[in-house]
């Protein structure tokens, strides 16, 4: 099967620092790929490259087998690549509907079509089984897990093929983490490719199909979750020799 996204030998420098060196990476539709590594390993740089924020200095990127130039967030969005950053980028003073449709509001003439937006929002949230007190509640009133769910749901608005999640479970409690992991599984059931950056190996093992390990800007290992041992993943992250 052709991978949804394929990186071959991708490099990115910041001045003299090589943040990514010859990185290969691929993800298929309906697959959850975890991206792990220590601080400074290049995880966020890789996500920014794929979401079109950082141009690459070497290598090539293929989307569904075609070579593409991800030269801006719009180019990535046009291909169907959506990114949920760690800060979620939600407007806390707006309600859930307002946030889901931010920048793509439905209008009839000069007036916002609140009813069409609310109906679409309810439908989307139901499809993703996201539980919220009310779609008219301001985001300020939601829990961390609910906010994360709203941010993930918003990334689905443009019918993407690939969703990148940057630390979706950091700063969440146990129950809220489970909600978000369930949501990731539902994205996979819908045939999307999902890339999850995480520091939490327990979450990674519970939700991912494969694990890519980055260390110092290089991809050092890839594991199939079904057959991987946590100690091996930790060893790959830290670069420690196996005893």
Q: Which residues bind other proteins (CB under 8 A)?
A: 19, 39-45, 73, 85-94, 98, 102-105, 107, 110-112, 115-116, 118-119, 122, 138, 140-141, 144, 167, 170-171, 199
Minimum Å distance from CB 144 to other proteins? 7
Q: Which is nearer to other proteins, 21 or 28 (CB)?
A: 21
Distances (CA, A) of 94 to 97, 110, 141, 243: 8, 20, 10, 54
Q: Which is nearer to other proteins, 170 or 221 (CB)?
A: 170
Minimum Å distance from CB 61 to other proteins? 20
Q: Which is nearer to other proteins, 51 or 184 (CB)?
A: 51
Q: Which is nearer to other proteins, 31 or 214 (CB)?
A: 214
CA atoms within 13 A on the CB side of 14: 9
Instruction: Indicate the helix (H) or strand (E) that contains 3.
Output: none
Distances (CA, A) of 32 to 138, 160, 184, 196: 31, 15, 8, 7
**Count of beta carbons in the 10 Å neighbourhood of residue 171:** 12
> In the structure encoding, which two tokens stand for residue 131, read together?
């539980």
Minimum Å distance from CB 201 to other proteins? 15
**Count of beta carbons in the 10 Å neighbourhood of residue 110:** 5
Minimum Å distance from CB 194 to other proteins? 19
CA atoms of 217 and 58, how far apart (whole Å): 13
| CA dihedral of residues 120, 147, 193, 62 (deg, nearest 10) | 100
Minimum Å distance from CB 196 to other proteins? 14
Minimum Å distance from CB 158 to other proteins? 11
């Amino acid at each position: 099967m052709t991978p949804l996204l394929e990186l071959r030998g991708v490099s990115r420098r910041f001045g003299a620092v090589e943040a990514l060196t010859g990185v290969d990476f691929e993800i298929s539709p309906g697959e959850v790929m975890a991206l792990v590594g220590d601080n400074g390993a290049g995880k966020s740089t890789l996500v920014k490259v794929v979401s079109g924020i950082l141009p690459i200095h070497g290598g090539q990127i293929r989307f569904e087998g075609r070579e593409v130039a991800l030269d801006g967030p719009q180019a990535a969005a046009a291909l169907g690549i959506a990114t949920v950053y760690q800060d979620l980028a939600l407007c806390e003073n707006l309600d859930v509907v307002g946030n889901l449709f931010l920048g793509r509001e439905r209008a009839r003439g000069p007036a916002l079509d609140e009813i069409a937006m609310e109906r679409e929002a309810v439908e989307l949230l139901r499809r993703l089984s996201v539980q919220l007190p009310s779609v008219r509640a301001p985001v300020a009133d939601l829990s961390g897990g609910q906010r994360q769910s709203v941010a993930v749901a918003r990334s689905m608005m443009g019918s993407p093929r690939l969703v990148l999640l940057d630390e979706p479970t950091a700063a969440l409690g146990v129950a809220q983490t489970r909600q978000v992991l369930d949501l990731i599984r539902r994205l996979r059931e819908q045939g999307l490719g999902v890339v999850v950056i995480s520091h939490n190996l327990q979450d990674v093992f519970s939700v991912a199909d494969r694990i890519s390990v980055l260390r110092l800007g290089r991809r050092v290992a890839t594991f199939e979750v079904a057959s991987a041992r946590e100690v091996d993943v930790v060893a790959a992250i830290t670069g420690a020799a196996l005893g």
